[in-house]
Amino acid sequence: MPDPEAQGKPGGSVVIVPGSKSVTNRALFLAAAADGTTTLRGALRSDDTDAFVEGLGVLGYEVERGPDAWHVRGRPSGPSATEADLYCRDGATVARFLPVLAATGHGTFRFDASPQMRRRPLGPLTTAMRHLGVELRHDEHEGHHPLTVVGRGVRGGAVRLDAGVSSQFLSALLLAGPLMAEGLRVEVTDLVSAPYVEITIAMMRSFGVRVVRDGDAFVVPTGGYRATDHTVEPDASTASYFFAAAALTGRQVTVPGLGADAVQGDLRFVEILERMGATVRVTAGATTVTGTGRLAGITANMRDISDTMPTLAAIAPFAAGPVRITDVHNTRVKECDRIEACAVNLRRLGVRVETGRDWIGIWPAVPVGTEIDCHGDHRIAMSFAVTGLRTPNLTLDEPTVVRKTFPDFHEVFGALRHRWGL
Ligand SMILES: O=C(O)C1=C[C@@H](OP(=O)(O)O)[C@@H](O)[C@H](O)C1
Ligand SMILES: C=C(OP(=O)(O)O)C(=O)O
């Protein structure tokens, strides 16, 4: 429910944020694997979720996307296709989750992805899949797409996994765990983006499977999923741009649907804004950020919520003191090298920046308008759009990259600017 207070405050705005990419693609996986038909509400329509739906379609799953709800007919026995070519576009959830689902079927499944997704790592996942009995081959470079999976069902069992570069390797295995003949035990040696694994576990639970923690191991029983009705909550990473906008301009933003029970770790970005001086109110049904227009410098470890690193970097020059963002080495292997992309763009805006392997430091400045190089990355585009609220003549070289997670971003953000007279 919208917070009625929000509309009453000067500059108070309720922003409707589209569904979470991470929740939508997990829900699609779980629904496809489940026994029965699942109804999804609030699911996201964007490049990443289109790619997931397309991939499921090619594997022989039925997904019907209506304006109010999506219906997915589950196939607990695995894909019906015996041969398929899948193109994962730029989506790592697609490129990392679907090969494991395909392996539970019987056939030859060829995967490819965008040039950047081909560069992003896959090796720890494919090594683990081989240990679990999957036959697969990397068609060009070991540990990268393109990839051919020969499905014969997955035996499963125990495996060790280094998820220090991406939690998605672990989520992919866990999601497929109940479909493995012997179930699954994953001993995790390192893990980034841990809250995304919590999303996986919570969603598996709503489809009837309980993951058990045993020290550093995750244990999944064999047995399969039950179809259910699932409502996808708004995307917390997307919400970060609107919360940051409120903090930066001294206004107020309420995002309904992201409340105290939200499953996405990225909602914790508001805690960073709070430490910088904004007021945050989280109710059962919404989160509200009220800014003062003044921001304090901070050091923030963003290992758990690194998709919001560019959001913080983009407002950092307006803080009264330096902002240092640490423990984000994995942001170098996302849609672009995000540490480098933020540094390059901030320097073009006239901001002093220093970087290391896993950190970025940003000093106070009065940014001077320039064209932002989006590096083909939706988050660089959306983050620097926020910088543009206080930087005249800031433009984006490739605004359409937002289609990966929020095709209507510019319309919604533009309407907010208009309402605020900025
Ligand atoms: O599992 C997921 O849905 C995601 C996990 C995170 O990736 P890493 O675990 O690779 O950091 C995040 O950056 C990505 O946007 C979505
Ligand atoms: C890194 C991201 O996406 P993915 O890893 O799912 O491609 C993102 O959305 O910021």
Alpha carbon distance, N-terminus to C-terminus of the chain: 27
* Least distant ligand from the CA of 328: 1
Nearest-CA neighbor of 64 among 98, 37, 33? 37
Pairing of strands 212-214, 217-220: antiparallel
Question: What CATH number should be reported for the domain holding residue 110?
Answer: 3.65.10.10
Q: Cα(22) to centroid of ligand 1, in Å? A: 8
pLDDT for 132 equals: 98
Residues 61 and 186 in one domain: yes
Q: How far apart are CA 78 and CA 33, in angstroms?
A: 7
Q: How far apart are CA 254 and CA 286, in angstroms?
A: 7
Question: Is 21 part of any known ligand binding site?
Answer: yes
Q: What is the pLDDT of residues 214-256, one digit of tens each?
A: 999 999 999 999 999 999 999 999 999 999 999 999 999 999 9
Question: Is 168 part of any known ligand binding site?
Answer: yes
Residues 38, 71 contacting (CB under 8 angstroms) = yes
Q: How far apart are CA 248 and CA 369, in angstroms?
A: 17
* Sheet arrangement for strand 212-214: 157-163, 184-191, 217-220, 212-214
3 falls within a domain: no
Q: Cα(24) to centroid of ligand 2, in Å? A: 13
Q: Does residue 261 have an active-site annotation?
A: no
Residues 312 and 406 in one domain: yes
Residues 106, 63 contacting (CB under 8 angstroms) = no
Residue closest via CA to ligand 1's atom 10 equals 166
Under-50 pLDDT residues of the chain:
1-8
Specify the number of domains making up the chain: 2
CB 167 less than 6 A from any atom of ligand 1: yes
Q: How far apart are CA 352 and CA 332, in angstroms?
A: 20
Residues 246 and 217 in one domain: no
Residues 212 and 243 in one domain: no
Residues 157 and 45 in one domain: yes
pLDDT for 95 equals: 98
Burial class, 45, CB count within 10 angstroms (exposed 0-12 / middle 13-18 / buried 19+): middle
Residues 335 and 251 in one domain: yes
Q: Which residues contact 411 (CB under 8 A, 6 or more apart)?
A: none
13 falls within a domain: no
227 falls within a domain: no
Torsion over CA: 73, 98, 134, 158 (sign)? negative
CB 22 less than 6 A from any atom of ligand 1: yes
Residue closest via CA to ligand 2's atom 1 equals 334
32 falls within a domain: yes
226 falls within a domain: no
Q: Cα(186) to centroid of ligand 2, in Å? A: 23
314 falls within a domain: yes
263: domain range? 235-420
**Three-class secondary structure of residue 51 per DSSP:** helix
CB 379 less than 6 A from any atom of ligand 2: yes
CB 96 less than 6 A from any atom of ligand 2: no
For ligand 2, what atom is nearest to the CA of residue 117? Answer: 7
pLDDT for 300 equals: 98
Residues 42 and 92 in one domain: yes
9 falls within a domain: no
Residues 74, 35 contacting (CB under 8 angstroms) = yes
Name the domain boundary from 221, 254, 274.
Answer: 221
Question: Is 306 part of any known ligand binding site?
Answer: no
For ligand 1, what atom is nearest to the CA of residue 307? Answer: 13
Q: Cα(193) to centroid of ligand 1, in Å? A: 7
Pocket test for ligand 2, best of 196, 404, 406, 409 (most atoms within 8 A of CB): 404
Nearest-CA neighbor of 120 among 101, 146, 100? 146
Question: Is 404 part of any known ligand binding site?
Answer: yes
- Amino acid residing at 331: T
Residues 206 and 269 in one domain: no
Name the domain boundary from 189, 221, 253.
Answer: 221
CB 396 less than 6 A from any atom of ligand 1: no
Residues 71 and 216 in one domain: yes
399 falls within a domain: yes
Residues 249 and 186 in one domain: no
Beta strand spans in 167-318 (E): 184-191, 212-214, 217-220, 225-226, 229-231, 252-256, 279-282, 286-290, 299-301
CB 308 less than 6 A from any atom of ligand 1: no
Structure token pair of residue 217: 């191991």
Name the domain boundary from 190, 221, 252.
Answer: 221
Residues 276, 308 contacting (CB under 8 angstroms) = no
Question: Is 120 part of any known ligand binding site?
Answer: yes
Length of the chain: 422
Residues 166 and 278 in one domain: no
Question: Is 330 part of any known ligand binding site?
Answer: yes
Out of 307, 337, 358, 408, the active site residue is 307
DSSP 17: P
Residues 174 and 265 in one domain: no
The strand pairing partners of 166, in sequence order, are: none
